[in-house]
Structure 1
Amino acid sequence: MTKVLPQLINGEWSESRSREWIDVTDPATQHVLARAPKATPEEIEAAIASAKNAFLSWREVPISERARLMLRYQHLLKEHHDELAEILARETGKTLADAKGDVWRGIEVVEHAANVASLMMGETMENVAREIDTASWMQPLGVCVGITPFNFPAMIPLWMFPLAIACGNTFILKPSEQDPLTPNRLAELFIEAGAPAGVLQVLHGAREQVDALLTHPDIRAISFVGSVPVGQHVYRTGTAHLKRVQAFAGAKNHMVIMPDAHKDQVLSNLIGASCGAAGQRCMAISTAVFVGDSRAWIDELASQMAELRPGHWQDPQAAYGPLISPQAKQRVLHLIAAGKAEGAECLVDGSHCTVAGYPDGNWLGPTLFRGVTPTMSLYREEIFGPVLICLEVETLEQAIALVNNNPYGNGTSLFTRSGGAARQFQHAVEVGQVGINVPIPVPLPFFSFTGWKGSFYGDLHAYGKQAVRFYSETKTVTSRWFDDAPVSGPNMTIQLK
């Protein structure tokens, strides 16, 4: 019998009364793993009301107790690390090693949330005017919402609700309908760690459920990670309804390769960064920019990429797994066909990839193009598959201009042995996250995830100090205590005296 996913409302897991359900399928077989509900309007209202009510008591819980909840939670996550990775691998198709990395990067954020007391410290100063002192306090917002994507069903929910809740807020998680099993298990462990009823809610659904959350007057902040069109919609709708919004959207990440770089390191890192997780990472390297004589390495890159083989998550030899859905595969195949039609040279073509024993999987082999120009569809659109395109320029300055002219600014990297070139690149490039001889420069949690330009809509970014600011308000208190001295008359100005 197919598993029916429950929803978490007011501390209780219960089966939805919805008449609309979404099949959660194994991308390697198309077998239905579970059915997720589209939450009803009544269930959405119940979850929001529960979160709003829980906020009244949760905000008063001492910050040290909230930190201890995170300590217990990260301990449970580590105990169940391999179990979580297997659930994740089964519903996303990721290799087991990649799934474990997904879970671990989320655990790191929970560890950071356990340090919330120092992150929420305000500022004080005495005698800002005569016998007048000022202090700023950071206080929680209220009910917050997280809308998460399919490609990191452990890491990205853990970017959001632990920090928001540690700051004293309550939280409603709406995970991707394509792989909600992992987020449900994360929530089960959070309740096991001792989270009070109503502090975390989990609702399932699709666009209609998201819109209900975006427009509800009792929601204070929205965190979103996903595609460009949905990110724009979330940002515009949320802000139009006077909510704080951080919306992480698309990307076109470049790796710039200088002729003095370590060739073997370049090729190894480039292949992993472009094809890992079947290219379904917002920080994947989809564009290689070869500078000067480094273009001679493209043929060797093609030979090494051609040896990669996707496979099932239980196959230890698999380089990566299937794409998340047949629709995702068809979209990438369409872009590959467009690249060929527009004149790019396809050096490695994974369009007809098969995997023995899994004829129905969403398989796509590694694909490499040369001779791509910025006007081609392959360059203008985010591919989100195991496809790497190569562009060639003569100078580092031309490479920087190419990167800066792209509308996205999520991540980029430079491979070189020159400190001068590295300094020039990291200073001049208009991208939020820069790697020097690091292909996927996703910051650790004590920094923040800082995409720029069309990759991000909002102000304050995910995790780190910026997320604490996002999930809190600043209250400034200016105080004076009077003695029995005579009053000299009314102060008719705004000046503090």
Structure 2
Amino acid sequence: MVGSTGGGSAELLRNFIGGRWVDSRAQESLPVHNPARGVVIARTPLSTGEDVDDAVKAATAAFPGWSETPPVVRARALFRFQQLLEANFEELARIVTTEHGKTLDESRGSVRRGIECVEVACGGPSLLMGSALENVAAGIDCVAMRQPIGVCAAIAPFNFPAMVPLWFLPFAIASGNTIVVKPSEQVPLSQRKMFELLSQCDLPPGVINLVHGGRTVVETLCDHPGIRALSFVGSTAVARQVWKRATAAGKRTQALGGAKNFVIMMPDADLEHAIPTVAESFYGCAGERCLAGSILVPVGNAHTNVRDRMVAAA
């Protein structure tokens, strides 16, 4: 339910722009619920286009210096971030469970996958190496160089609030780009914690920016001329809209929607092995995995046995 920014006793979250925590200009906010207890634990400001513009300006100002920073120096910031994530692992997992409702074991798993992304990005000095081949034709050499492109944006979903932003953020840092992150308005607390940790990693002001909000923030990120590339994860319907809008604005766009995966069960399938695996795919993480099994197709006379075993496994 949308309310005024001053309503209720729950904390109103702040944006992180230009190396500082700042109040949003928002006049409205949304409640963040603990789904296990049914209580409001925070409020997400519905930030304005002006808030987004502030973040893009900060990221734009930081880009020249950060893009010229040697890759090994950028990697050191990520090594520090990885260490802080490990030191705060349990707290992060509990934040995810509190704001989202996953089991604690599932939250730990998602935080672990996110940390692994940071570990990969720490290899930036090697990953960013180009290639060269002399004399590919008479008098012609071929050289490929990887260069930072500018300000990037990441729009994250509700189902994996800690993991998915780490698909993008550490790689933007490693590659010399600057970034504006928009977490889901339903589950913003894990990203706040991550930005608190990132603020301890000696990143120049403006390299990383966090803007809370809803549709207005998404549309402004898609349209803003200062953003060169945008990544989105969410529903297929919204992914299509984001891709259309962002590409129309000339951005490199990665829009990842959901996947409806079919699982085909043949009559000779090893059900002792298959049923637990399929049940975990369908029901693990409350079925909210982007690549979860969604439709089970038993073939021939497998139907009755598969159905009964799936019910028992659930």
SS at match of 1:221: strand
For residues 303 and 229 of structure 1, the distance between their equivalents in structure 2, rounded to whole angstroms, comes to 33
Matched, 1:120 2:128: yes
Q: Which amino acid aligns with 1:98?
A: E
Greater Cα shift, 93-102 or 61-70: 61-70
Q: Which amino acid aligns with 1:48?
A: V
Q: 1:210-225 alignment to 2 at 5 Å?
A: 210-225=218-233
1:236 aligns with 244
* 1:106 aligns with one of 114, 128, 142: 114
2:93 aligns with 85
Q: 1:263/1:128 Cα in 2 relative to 1: closer, same or farther (>3 Å)?
A: closer
1:262 aligns with 270
For residues 277 and 13 of structure 1, the distance between their equivalents in structure 2, rounded to whole angstroms, comes to 32
For residues 129 and 283 of structure 1, the distance between their equivalents in structure 2, rounded to whole angstroms, comes to 45
Q: Which amino acid aligns with 1:91?
A: E
For residues 308 and 136 of structure 2, the distance between their equivalents in structure 1, rounded to whole angstroms, comes to 67
For residues 310 and 88 of structure 2, the distance between their equivalents in structure 1, rounded to whole angstroms, comes to 38
SS at match of 1:68: helix
Structure 1 residue 130 displacement after superposition: 5.6
For residues 229 and 261 of structure 1, the distance between their equivalents in structure 2, rounded to whole angstroms, comes to 35
2:6 aligns with none
SS at match of 2:61: helix
Structure 1 residue 68 displacement after superposition: 1.7
Matched, 1:155 2:156: no
Structure 1 residue 126 displacement after superposition: 2.4
For residues 218 and 34 of structure 2, the distance between their equivalents in structure 1, rounded to whole angstroms, comes to 24
What percent of counterpart residues are identical? Answer: 44
Matched, 1:245 2:267: no
SS at match of 1:140: coil
For residues 259 and 167 of structure 1, the distance between their equivalents in structure 2, rounded to whole angstroms, comes to 50
For residues 70 and 260 of structure 1, the distance between their equivalents in structure 2, rounded to whole angstroms, comes to 49
For residues 237 and 104 of structure 1, the distance between their equivalents in structure 2, rounded to whole angstroms, comes to 33
RMSD of Structure 2 on Structure 1 (CA): 1.5
* 1:300 aligns with one of 268, 290, 309: 309
Q: Which amino acid aligns with 2:188?
A: P
Asked if the contact 2:281–2:292 (Cα under 8 Å) also holds between the matched residues in 1, the reply is yes
1:97 aligns with 105
Structure 1 residue 134 displacement after superposition: 3.5
SS at match of 1:3: coil
Structure 1 residue 233 displacement after superposition: 0.8
Q: Which amino acid aligns with 2:132?
A: T
2:284 aligns with 276
SS at match of 1:138: coil
For residues 202 and 179 of structure 1, the distance between their equivalents in structure 2, rounded to whole angstroms, comes to 13
2:15 aligns with 7
For residues 106 and 293 of structure 1, the distance between their equivalents in structure 2, rounded to whole angstroms, comes to 42
SS at match of 1:97: helix
Q: Which is higher, the Rg of structure 1 or of structure 2?
A: 1
Q: 1:128/1:80 Cα in 2 relative to 1: closer, same or farther (>3 Å)?
A: same
Greater Cα shift, 14-23 or 141-150: 14-23
Gaps of 5+ in 2: 1-8
1:291 aligns with 299
2:71 aligns with 63
Q: 1:396-407 alignment to 2 at 5 Å?
A: none
1:201 aligns with 209
Q: Which amino acid aligns with 1:275?
A: Y
Structure 1 residue 138 displacement after superposition: 0.6
Structure 1 residue 58 displacement after superposition: 0.2
Structure 1 residue 111 displacement after superposition: 0.5
TM-score by length of 2: 0.93
Q: 1:18/1:263 Cα in 2 relative to 1: closer, same or farther (>3 Å)?
A: same
Structure 1 residue 132 displacement after superposition: 5.2
Q: Which one has the bigger helix percentage?
A: 2
Q: 1:90-489 alignment to 2 at 5 Å?
A: 90-128=98-136, 133-295=141-303, 296-305=305-314
- CA-to-aligned-CA distance 1:378-434 (integer Å, 9 cap, x gap): xxxxxxxxxxxxxxxxxxxxxxxxxxxxxxxxxxxxxxxxxxxxxxxxxxxxxxxxx
Number of residues of Structure 1 aligned to a counterpart in Structure 2: 305
Q: Which amino acid aligns with 1:60?
A: E
2:3 aligns with none
Matched, 1:73 2:81: yes
- CA-to-aligned-CA distance 1:314-341 (integer Å, 9 cap, x gap): xxxxxxxxxxxxxxxxxxxxxxxxxxxx
For residues 258 and 105 of structure 1, the distance between their equivalents in structure 2, rounded to whole angstroms, comes to 32
For residues 41 and 129 of structure 1, the distance between their equivalents in structure 2, rounded to whole angstroms, comes to 51
Asked if the contact 2:47–2:216 (Cα under 8 Å) also holds between the matched residues in 1, the reply is no
Asked if the contact 2:223–2:246 (Cα under 8 Å) also holds between the matched residues in 1, the reply is yes
Asked if the contact 2:148–2:175 (Cα under 8 Å) also holds between the matched residues in 1, the reply is yes
Greater Cα shift, 268-277 or 176-185: 268-277
For residues 194 and 217 of structure 1, the distance between their equivalents in structure 2, rounded to whole angstroms, comes to 28
Gaps of 5+ in 1: 306-497
Structure 1 residue 28 displacement after superposition: 2.2
Structure 1 residue 232 displacement after superposition: 0.9
Structure 1 residue 129 displacement after superposition: 5.2
For residues 202 and 195 of structure 2, the distance between their equivalents in structure 1, rounded to whole angstroms, comes to 11
Asked if the contact 2:15–2:211 (Cα under 8 Å) also holds between the matched residues in 1, the reply is yes
